[in-house]
Amino acid sequence: MAIINKTRTLTSFNHQRNKLITLLTAKTAAAKITTVNRDIDSKYRADGANVHDVLNAIEAKFKRCESLYFTYFEDPDHDVLIGNITNLPVGVDCELMDGTSVIKYYFSTDDRNNYKEIVDLNFQTFILTVASLYENLVLLSEIFMKKVIVYIRKPLSSPLHDYLDYLKLLITLGYRGNDKLNQCMTTSAPFLNMYLSQINGLRNKFIHGYSINLESDGFNYYVKSENTTIFTPRSADLLLHVFTKEVLDQTGIFIANLMTALERSAKHHRKSIPA
């Protein structure tokens, strides 16, 4: 298999970001920023510098996931990954367009064990980056919306699955209505319900264990199933290139929709931030 040459364009969330920043600027000028969330933890402060940092982290992590996908997962050589050396050497020469910038990623190897190690370790990075990105999305939500997760002792992190569980409980109890935030979560529910526990399970195994969490059936390379009631082991959904593409595509949609929902939730002139 020859070196694969490709050019891809990285995603920009500038449209959604700019609307959030414009809204924050207007609310600040109108003295419509309250400290109700910031009083719980300073990381929830609704000021320009903090919001810029969170938005930058979200976009940078998503672009990192895109870079990993385009370089290592979009065109994986399943034959070499399962031990066949016929297609060696393998490699990718990838040019990524990011606005006016050009980023180049290149790798080539003639060793099947080395190729497998490259793919395995970059899959781990992909999953850990996605999981971290989801926590940043929770943080962004809890800057622009009144807190969903309330605690006495500050947790180490606020995973997205916890945030969604708390949100559902608050709606069931009547403390929150079916607002734009919940509508956004409902729109993404088919993806989140199917993939969130899988991603979280992989994340935990990577942090606390040593498994590569990838496996072969002798023909193809698959992501291991973390919940067999959702993902049948070695099913087409778990093929390495299929799984990573779906996570990437649906996460990009979710990010854009969430930013839009947060902006619209506080847009009315009588609304404050957090809304």
Work out the number of other CB atoms within 10 angstroms of the CB of residue 10.
17
CA–CA separation, 233 and 213 (whole Å): 12
**Arithmetic mean of pLDDT, 43-58:** 96
Percent of the chain with pLDDT over 90: 94
Task: Give the number of C-alpha atoms closer than 13 A to the C-alpha of residue 98, restricted to the C-beta side.
Answer: 14
Here the tokens at position 241 are 């290139």
What are the φ and ψ backbone dihedral angles of 155, each rounded to 5 degrees?
-75, 160
**Average pLDDT, whole number, for the chain?**
95
Predicted confidence (pLDDT) at residue 123 exceeds the cutoff of 90: yes
> Three-state SS for 221?
strand
pLDDT band at residue 2 using 50, 70 and 90 as cut-offs: confident
> Exposed e or buried b for every residue in 32-43, given b needs 16+ CB within 10 A?
bbeeebbeeeee
pLDDT band at residue 122 using 50, 70 and 90 as cut-offs: very high
CA–CA separation, 118 and 64 (whole Å): 16
- SS3 of 220-243: CEEECCCCCCCCCCCCHHHEHHHH
108's enclosing H/E stretch is strand 101-109
C-alpha 198, offset from chain centre? 13
**Arithmetic mean of pLDDT, 86-104:** 96
Query: What does DSSP say about strands 221-223 and 101-109: parallel, antiparallel, or unpaired?
Result: unpaired
Predicted confidence (pLDDT) at residue 235 exceeds the cutoff of 70: yes
Contact by Cβ (8 Å): 251, 133: yes
At 236-259, the pLDDT tens digits run: 999 999 999 999 999 999 999 999
Q: Is the peptide bond before 233 cis (omega within 30 degrees of 0)?
A: no
> Three-state SS for 103?
strand
Tokens 């996460």 belong to residue: 251
Predicted confidence (pLDDT) at residue 207 exceeds the cutoff of 80: yes
CA–CA separation, 58 and 135 (whole Å): 9
What Å distances lie between residue 188 and 32, 123, 163, 247, 257, CA to CA? Answer: 30, 23, 14, 12, 9
**Arithmetic mean of pLDDT, 215-234:** 96
**Arithmetic mean of pLDDT, 88-105:** 96
pLDDT at 75: 96
pLDDT at 153: 79
Contact by Cβ (8 Å): 206, 230: no
Contacts of 268 (CB under 8 A, 6+ apart): none
| The dihedral formed by the CA atoms of 231, 232, 236 and 239, expressed in degrees to the nearest 10 | 70
pLDDT band at residue 1 using 50, 70 and 90 as cut-offs: low
- The domains of the chain are located at 4-265
Predicted confidence (pLDDT) at residue 195 exceeds the cutoff of 90: yes
pLDDT band at residue 261 using 50, 70 and 90 as cut-offs: very high
Residue type, 268: H
Task: Give the number of C-alpha atoms closer than 13 A to the C-alpha of residue 219, restricted to the C-beta side.
Answer: 4
